[in-house]
Chains A and B, each alone.
Chain A
Amino acid sequence: MSNAGPSTGSRSFLSRLWDGDEIARIVTFLFAATVVLITVLLVLQLWHDSSLPRHKFGLSFFVTRVWDPIAEQFGALPFIYGTLFTAAVALLLAVPLGLGSAIFLAELAPQKISDTLQFFIDLLAAVPSVIYGLLGMFVVVPVMRVYIQPALKHSLGFLPLFQGPAFGVGFLTAGIVLAIMVIPYIISVSREVLLSVPRDQREAALALGATRWESTWKVVVPFARTGIMGSIFLALARALGETMAVTMVIGNTPTISASLFSPGYSIAAVIANELTEATGEVYFQSLVELGLVLFLVTFILNGLARLMMVLTTQKGSGMGQV
């Protein structure tokens, strides 16, 4: 109770309660606790509802490649692979584009253009994911199949990344659609963070003889590093959990392949596709266990994010937290 505010100390609990400060404290604490409680209950429910496959398959669930509802053999590996692979492709495409746009909007563009473009970016972030899925299916997939995939195959076909038949659907297409969906998040948050870097940092750099770009890239961006990383992990969270847009463009085939052209599957997509018609307890509970696995993957990645932010903050970038 030592940092509770000015009315602590020798006064009794009841008199503090009467004051209103304590009530506010208790009520807001309960609200915060509710969020934690919901998360815990969610995990408990997932754990409880996946008891059959956990006992039947144990840890082999994580490494089995087979997903056979008839033989009741279930394995999560192709879905974990698909989820991580598409998220990685999405981030590889979205981060440079997003960060570059944010730098332009925050540092290099006139105020009016920056605000107008930000409006459009917010609009893009608000589009429902089913629309992105339709856009993916009817626009991106044909373009991929007819132009982009053959071109990549022709020029870079010697790499295992670009081998195999070009269907149009697959990991690359899903990654591209996901990138389009997460870029607005990266731009919005990074732009805010860059704008809030104190002017004296920029001015100090310029005063020392740095060019405009040097001051941006070598001083401002590193200063805002933790905020930018926060935006990237926000984008990653969306990319990992995205369901409808992914299921329309990924090909829905549980395969593990190094090729970007190969069709694949993600955890969210398979749950959305198969849960309502899952007959049989083991089948149903295996899908629930996949949900638990996705939660675990997100949790681990977020943990790593926090760890990275803590480690880089200690190097004295100036901003402790965003």
Chain B
Amino acid sequence: MKRLTGMLLVVLALGGFVLAQNALLINGAGATFPTPIYSKWFDTYHKANANIQINYQSVGSGAGIKQATDGTVDFGASDGPMNDEQLKAYSDKHGFALLHFPTVLGAVVPTYNIAGVSASLNFTPEVLAGIFLGRITKWNDPAIAGANKGVNLPAEDIVVVHRSDGSGTTYVFTDYLAKVSADWKDKVGKGTSVNWPVGLGGKGNEGVTGLVKQTPNSLGYVELIYAVKNNVSYGAVKNASGIFLKADLAGVSEAAAGAAREMPDDFRVSITNAPGKKAYPISSFTWLLIPAKFSDTAKRDALKSFLKWALTDGQKDAEELSYAKLPKEVVAKELKAINSIQ
């Protein structure tokens, strides 16, 4: 009996060893915003390449950056680019850099609930900054009325709603406000979590939408995909060329194309308030954070080939899930950069 157990254990151990050699498991963690498309990509890629299994945990951009820096995951993902301090922390710890690769695009839209107003409102950058700073307090303020001639705005207080949890949506929105308002940049700044001057906090896009739907005369901001899928009414925002645009996938891709001309080599760029007549101003990339050097060549090659696939064939899946595709100029630049991963 003892001999049998011994032999069984040896067989199992060898078997496990053999199996382990065949399946390559790559772990990643990070942003929650792109989780639906990443899940789809990893699944599709695994079906096409049965020996490569990529596992992704949507724990949040902050946790993703942390885990990538600690080395507990093979790659990270973030809705906001890492700042110089965080990049330095990474390269100090590992001896090589952490590279950013944009994968898809998202946008943020202003959503509101005003009794008796069903028209689509126009928002100028000054109005948005003023409302969220607490300077513009009533819906019938001349600044708002001026952009919405013919709409009967009530003389009611604006109930501001923002995100209570740290999120990429907040990062994009505050990044936009910091660009269009020097006051906002000075007083509040941009980040996944900020010290909001006014407003109620809702947890998640669902929380903000819930609060806006229930509270009359309220204004909040949500992810475009979320607004589309949940039939939330949202307004148009004036872009850098002076045109009021309601967010859609084409407008978001345009914003990226506009920024593509001056894209830095590390892809850490903000594309809010991008130039271009058709560009939607509150747009953003979401990035995969890949180390520049891999000690495990199998993992490196697997990730490189996955990235190449995601940036080309994978982009087809983006629009069905309401993400905007990357413009081809950006894809071309990224494909070149992938070759630099050692």
- Residues from chain B with a CB closer than 8 A to the CB of A67 are 195
- Residues from chain A with a CB closer than 8 A to the CB of B125 are none
A137 to B203, CA, bound (A): 11
Closest 3 CB pairs of A and B: A277-B166, A252-B201, A276-B60
- Residues from chain A with a CB closer than 8 A to the CB of B157 are 165
Q: Pick the contact of B195 from A68, A138, A252, A265 — CB < 8 Å?
A: A68
Q: How does the 8 Å CB contact mask read for B154-183 relative to A, with 1 for contact and 0 for none? A: 000101000011110000000000000000
Q: A259 interface residue, CB < 8 Å from B?
A: no
A71 to B192, CA, bound (A): 13
A91 to B142, CA, bound (A): 47
- Residues from chain B with a CB closer than 8 A to the CB of A260 are none
Q: How does the 8 Å CB contact mask read for B185-214 relative to A, with 1 for contact and 0 for none? A: 000111111111001111100010011001
The answer to whether B192 and A252 touch across the interface, beta carbons within 8 angstroms, is no
The answer to whether A71 and B189 touch across the interface, beta carbons within 8 angstroms, is yes
Q: B241 interface residue, CB < 8 Å from A?
A: no
Among B62, B188, B202, the one with the most A-chain Cβ atoms within 10 Å of its Cβ is B62
Q: A141 interface residue, CB < 8 Å from B?
A: yes
How many of chain A's residues touch chain B, expressed as a range?
A: 20 to 34
CB contact under 8 A between A273 and B165, given known A70-B194, A145-B215, A252-B200 = yes
Q: How does the 8 Å CB contact mask read for B35-62 relative to A, with 1 for contact and 0 for none? A: 0000000000000000000000001111
The answer to whether B62 and A278 touch across the interface, beta carbons within 8 angstroms, is yes
- Residues from chain B with a CB closer than 8 A to the CB of A253 are 196, 199-201
The answer to whether A278 and B193 touch across the interface, beta carbons within 8 angstroms, is yes
B69 to chain A, nearest CB (A): 10
A93 to chain B, nearest CB (A): 23
Q: B326 interface residue, CB < 8 Å from A?
A: no
- Residues from chain A with a CB closer than 8 A to the CB of B86 are 279
Which chain A residue shows the least CB distance to B63? A276
Q: A66 interface residue, CB < 8 Å from B?
A: yes
Q: How does the 8 Å CB contact mask read for A167-198 relative to B, with 1 for contact and 0 for none? A: 11100000000000000000000000000000
The answer to whether B211 and A277 touch across the interface, beta carbons within 8 angstroms, is no
- Residues from chain B with a CB closer than 8 A to the CB of A274 are 164-166, 193
Which chain A residue shows the least CB distance to B218? A167
Q: A248 interface residue, CB < 8 Å from B?
A: yes
A189 to chain B, nearest CB (A): 32
B72 to chain A, nearest CB (A): 15
The answer to whether B61 and A279 touch across the interface, beta carbons within 8 angstroms, is yes
CB contact under 8 A between A70 and B201, given known A167-B215, A169-B211, A277-B166 = no
Q: Pick the contact of B159 from A70, A71, A167 — CB < 8 Å?
A: A167
- Residues from chain A with a CB closer than 8 A to the CB of B207 are 248
- Residues from chain A with a CB closer than 8 A to the CB of B190 are 70
Q: Pick the contact of A70 from B165, B195, B214, B215 — CB < 8 Å?
A: B195
A163 to chain B, nearest CB (A): 15
Among B66, B166, B167, B196, the one with the most A-chain Cβ atoms within 10 Å of its Cβ is B166
A284 to B192, CA, bound (A): 13
A168 to B216, CA, bound (A): 11
Q: A263 interface residue, CB < 8 Å from B?
A: yes
- Residues from chain B with a CB closer than 8 A to the CB of A100 are none
- Residues from chain A with a CB closer than 8 A to the CB of B189 are 70-71
Q: How does the 8 Å CB contact mask read for B132-167 relative to A, with 1 for contact and 0 for none? A: 000000000000000000000000010100001111
Which chain A residue shows the least CB distance to B196? A253
A165 to B156, CA, bound (A): 12
- Residues from chain A with a CB closer than 8 A to the CB of B62 are 276-279, 284
Q: B65 interface residue, CB < 8 Å from A?
A: yes
A272 to B192, CA, bound (A): 15
B268 to chain A, nearest CB (A): 14
A to B CB contacts below 8 Å, 23 in the list: A67-B195, A69-B191, A70-B191, A70-B195, A138-B210, A145-B215, A167-B159, A248-B203, A252-B201, A265-B201, A272-B165, A273-B201, A274-B165, A274-B193, A276-B62, A276-B165, A277-B165, A277-B167, A278-B62, A279-B61, A279-B66, A279-B191, A284-B62
